Structure 1
Amino acid sequence: MAIGDHLREYREKLDITQIEAAKLLGIDHSALSKYEKGDLGISIELLLKIKEKYKIPDDQFLFMLQDKRYKSEDSIIEARESKARYIETFQDEYVNEVIHLKEYRDFTMDIVNFAETDKERRKYIINRLKKD
């Protein structure tokens, strides 16, 4: 398994799309796709940025670089913790930039009050974005 495969697997474990990840990394999503497929070499600088933005722990990152599968004692808990680290960082970097806007808070409350499931929330968000 190449480094690109490891990075794709980790990104998917975080439950983020290639488009979201590419925006986070400041690159085009087609380039990210090529990196993950192994069609394009990844620079050291980008690898370090991915490690930082995805919040990959040092030990896991070393396993990825060595093309080894990381074995945690409880992969389900480890995946939840990885996603929680990512979400916390995302909130700190992005949500804090817009939370002071009344429109953001209104939109967020509408989403939560309108729908009970993630599927309904996604549908609401997509429809609302199409209107704007």
Structure 2
Amino acid sequence: MTHSFPIRVYYEDTDLAGIVYYANYLKFIERGRSEWVRALGVDQVAMKRDHGLVFAVRRVEADYLKPAKFDDDLTVSTELVAETGARIVVEQAVWRAGEKLFAATVTLVCLTEAGAAARLPADVRRKIAPPLH
């Protein structure tokens, strides 16, 4: 299942040339991932409170394909690619009217509040990657 999240480009997102500053795509996909996790029913505040665990980005591989500009309506898509006991890999893209502008493969890990690697809680795993029947 692909999750979609709408974004509008504001003036503050652009550089002097009037196009989206490259680092802002990472902010856009972060928002998309946060909303994807929320839509799956994972409460990250409760995960931290109840399990002492948080998600952290371990790796991002990104391709900047075409520029977005001020006032563009964009959509961030997020799709699960892989999930293991301690990591999640998602494919994300930023689209404008069906045209892919940016693509990224993002690896997330689960960490304790002290920064040590940890396994995903079973209830969180079931929500992110439900077992196939």
Task: Using structure 2 for the length normalisation, give the TM-score.
Answer: 0.27
**Greater Cα radius of gyration, structure 1 or 2:** 1
Which is helix-richer, 1 or 2?
Answer: 1
Which is strand-richer, 1 or 2?
Answer: 2
